[in-house]
Structures are given as structure tokens and as C-alpha cells.
Amino acid sequence: MKMPEIVDEHRVHRVCVEGVTVRYVEGRGDIKLTVEGVLPSQTVETIRLDLLAKLQAVENAPIDCIRVTV
């Protein structure tokens, strides 16, 4: 389910998946995907692959996906 965009926030999009907010932040050089909570690994993988496939189609170019851990 798509969530409403926040005023003064640009190029940030949110969807709600099983009660957890999934946030997409568009940058010029990268797109960041953040799952703001805990979801089953399979669900996260589906979300990740969905974005990867769409970006590769839009860009018509290979896309690298980097897992961010701090």
C-alpha cells in the first residue's frame, strides 16, 4: 500500500508492507531502499528484486545492489 508523501520531502516514497514502512529515496547516483522494521527475509528479497528489475528496465543497464550494514 502506497503511503502519502511528506511535505518538504522530495524524491522520497513509502509503501506499507505487512505493517512495516518501506522507504525509497531517489538520488542522482543511487536509490536507497530501507525496510524500517522487521519483515520475513523472503518478503525483503521480493521487495529488493522488484526494485532491481524495475531499475534495470528503466535504465536499460545493469544495476548493482549493495547491502548496507553499519
Partner 1 sequence: MTNPVWTWAVEHRLTAYGLNKAFGGPHSKDAGPCWSFGRYGRTETLLPDGRLIRIGGEYEDWYDPDFYIYNNVIVTDAAGRTEIFGYSDRVFPPTDFHTANLVDDRIIMIGNLSYWFARAEKVQMLMLDTTSYGISRFDTSGEAPPWVFKHSSELVENGRAILVRGGLICGPQWPVTVENIDDWRLDLDTGRWERLTRRPWRRFAFVRADGMPNHLHWLGRLLKDRARAEARTRAVFEPSAFAISVPTRDWICSKRCTRPTYLT
Interface contacts to partner 1, rule CB under 8 A: 11, 26-39, 44, 48, 51-52, 55, 58-59, 61-70
Q: Choose between 8 and 64: whose C-beta lies nearer to partner 1.
A: 64
Q: Choose between 4 and 27: whose C-beta lies nearer to partner 1.
A: 27
Read out DSSP for 40-54?
-HHHHHHHHHHHHHH
CA distance 53 to 49: 6
CA distance 31 to 56: 12
Q: Choose between 6 and 70: whose C-beta lies nearer to partner 1.
A: 70
